[in-house]
């Protein structure tokens, strides 16, 4: 298999790839994650994943001698018409979690891959529907006090302290964590054709 490069600093994405049995190198890149307002929400998320993949590809193409495949992803929590993003502070985390309490939202992860040999680029996304139970102020503030929500889209990590906030999930659990492995497998097979 062509060497896989994960263009992400996310420990959650690394863990999911490792558990799925993939060998990979990590090459994190910094790109603007400000969404392009001229695109619809799904395309905004795909666009950010593409920016990450292309930045890593451009960084590596001159220094790598053999073939490689870059994998990048972007995960957003969508409530109503738009993404909630990561909280800016504790009060913002409270606002987001209060908004999600007792309601339905979507988690969308866009995945982009670029193969260095064929120059082929693939981008797709996965959607998971999440239903939160009603949360008390005490539950929300106790969770915020752990610090866990501060670096996460939608101000929660399903795999950590916020798992008990979930009433129901429709769709892949790993998508909510940050990387839909079944989609990754399908895209790698498609690139190998």
CA distance 71 to 23: 12
Residue 74 annotated among the catalytic residues of the structure: yes
Non-local CB neighbours of 137 within 8 Å, separated by 6+ positions: none
Residues in the chain, how many?
193
User: Annotated catalytic residue: which of 43, 47, 58, 74?
Assistant: 74
Supply φ then ψ for residue 179, to 5 degrees. Answer: -160, 110
CA dihedral 20, 9, 107, 193 (to 10 degrees): -50
Catalytic residue IDs: 74
């Amino acid at each position: 298999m062509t060497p896989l490069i994960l263009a992400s600093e996310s420990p959650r994405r690394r863990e999911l790839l490792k558990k799925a049995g993939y060998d990979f190198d990590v090459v994190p890149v910094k790109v603007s994650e400000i969404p392009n307002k001229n695109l619809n929400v799904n395309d905004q998320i795909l666009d950010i994943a593409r920016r990450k993949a292309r930045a890593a590809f451009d960084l590596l193409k001159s220094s790598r001698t053999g073939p490689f495949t870059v994998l990048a992803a972007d995960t957003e929590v969508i409530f109503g018409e738009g993404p909630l993003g990561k909280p800016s502070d504790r009060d913002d985390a409270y606002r987001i979690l209060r908004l999600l309490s007792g309601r339905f939202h979507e988690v969308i992860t866009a995945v982009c891959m670029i193969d260095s040999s064929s120059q082929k680029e693939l981008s797709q996304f996965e959607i998971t529907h999440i239903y939160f139970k009603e949360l008390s102020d005490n539950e929300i503030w106790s969770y915020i006090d752990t610090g866990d929500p501060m670096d996460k889209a939608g101000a929660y990590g399903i795999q950590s302290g916020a798992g008990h906030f979930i009433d129901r999930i429709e769709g892949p659990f790993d998508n909510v964590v940050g990387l839909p492995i079944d989609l990754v497998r399908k895209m790698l097979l498609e690139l190998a054709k």
